Amino acid sequence: MNLLTELVAFVVAIGVLVVVHEYGHYSVARLCGVKVLRFSIGFGRPLLQWVSKKSGTEWTISALPLGGYVKMLDEREFADRPNSISPDDLPHAFNRQSVGKRIAIVAAGPIANFILAIVLLAVVYASGVSEPAAVVAAPPAQSVAAQAGFQGGETVLAVSAANGNGMEQVRSWADLRWKLLSAAFDHRHVVVAARDAHAGSASSDYSLDLSHLESKDLDDDFMSRIGFEPGGGTLRIAGVEPGSAAQQAGLQKGDRLSAIDGHPVDSASSFITYVKAHAGKPVQLQILRGGPVPDVNKDARKDANKDGSLADDQSEAQNNAANTATATTPQSLTIAVTPAIQRDEETGQQVGRIGAALSAQGPSVEVRYGLLESARLGANRTWDIGVYSLRMFGRMLTGEASLKNLSGPVTIADYAGKSARLGPSAFLSFLALVSISLGVLNLLPIPVLDGGHLLYYAVEAVTGKTVSDRWQMVLQRAGLACIVALSAIALFNDLARLIHF
């Protein structure tokens, strides 16, 4: 079922993005009086096609849904058949339009993708979305967060603005991550205003030094690298594997973890990291047993079960009857458990594992904005992501950032499926992100892409002369080689993530 969800979500995402991009070209071409011969979604053999009686455009849906194109009337394609174009159609040929109109037509595709992203993000902001609250878990020692003074349990309220003027409000964990990522990319010091859980309404300022981080550190694990994990929640045992170290130690489903070796824990990742680092070494778990136990989200447990992070259904069934807490007052216990030594499939190193599934239930906030504010935020976030993408691509070219940041269709399909399962808001946010990426990619000055054509027209606008056919042919081949190389790297990264090599 997950594979089907990913496939359907991927096809829908690519279909929407391609239609919007190509319709941008089409609509501006029609406004400029250019005759459009074909509007195709996909490549290869046509599956469906029809001709508009009004415009004469042939609309096509083709077999390979990984792109599309708009074919406009162009005399250069009929160089060997100069009389095959009707004299009435000659003024409507693309090549006869002014350089300004040609620039507008080519730029319309990426611009349409940016407009789509703004609209989608504005819809998400206006409709409201439930996100993890910006509550910080206890950071690892010597991490950037720990050096700044964070101890765990603080709620982040604001971060100093990029322009140095005042503070910008932080509404959720995702908002905090984006603001810190932007600051790290600029190698800036930032001031974070946060309220301690025991300090009432008073807040304190924490100075974060993000200037020393390298570009390779700015990946999906960026927040963990600087010591930030979502906190403030309840960490529970969701299942215990038969014969595991957790079962032998006496851990039970529903137990609430409060500390490990005296260190408070309120995030699954920090707990797992600690256990992995203590392979074969006994650790002391402080737990609460009994009392009201809210149900664990079944859908989330099923998803996690497929990647091995939860015990299987049979194991759950074996634990259900014996592990039901009936006491009304929680019982505080200390349990010693020795993590078993296992080989990590991704790193090949020996790590610790206790064989217990975790369920983290953290605080969340409802993030919602007014219509005008949503539109403004959508435009700002689209601009920020676009600029960040360009800068990251530039750093990959100079070797400052890893090429592993490139993703291909397999990763996109995976994230499409995951976001679709999370709900409409997550899927729309994913669509907006990919739409921005598609717009930025097409604006790169690489021949065969829109940006390459815009480069030709910019040269023509400055010099008054078109780029010669010979040079266009040479640059076209070079551009095609670049695209093939980028596609190969992205596919390799996809396979590396899929089979962990």
**Which candidate, 239, 251, 237, 236, places its Cα nearest to that of 315?**
239
- Cβ(327)–Cβ(256) below 8 Å: no
Q: What 8-state DSSP symbol labels residue 354?
A: -
Closest CA to 364 of 171, 151, 202: 171
- Is-contact 436 114, C-beta < 8 A? yes
Q: Count the Cβ atoms, other than its own, within 10 Å of residue 418.
A: 17
What residues contact 236, with CB distance under 8 A and at least 6 apart? 254, 255, 256, 257, 293, 296, 358, 359, 360, 361
Under 8 Å between Cβ of 135 and 44: no
To the query of whether residue 22 is one of the catalytic residues in this protein, the response is: yes
Reduce the DSSP state of residue 308 to 3 states and report it.
Answer: coil
User: If you ran DSSP here, which 8-state letter would residue 144 be given?
Assistant: H
> Which candidate, 100, 144, 217, 6, places its Cα nearest to that of 457?
100
Distance CA 16, CA 113 (A): 10
Q: How far apart are the first and last CA of the chain?
A: 26
Q: CA-CA distances (angstroms) from residue 271 to 230, 260, 267?
A: 12, 8, 7
Catalytic residue among 22, 154, 229, 316: 22
339: exposed, middle or buried (Cβ count in 10 Å: 0-12, 13-18, 19+): buried
β-strands 263-264, 256-260 pairing? antiparallel
Enumerate the H helices of 78-218 as residue ranges: 99-127, 144-148, 173-185
Angle of helix 99-127 versus helix 424-443 axis, rounded to 10: 160
How far, in Å, are 70, 123, 431, 435 from residue 15 at the CA level?
Answer: 15, 20, 11, 11
CA-nearest of 362, 300, 370, 382 to 134 is 362
Closest Cα to residue 430, out of 442, 444, 414, 441?
Answer: 414
Q: What three-state secondary structure class fits 224? A: helix
Beta bridge partners of 160: 167
Contact 255, 289 (CB under 8 A): yes
Residue the block writes with tokens 């946060």: 194
Catalytic residues: 22
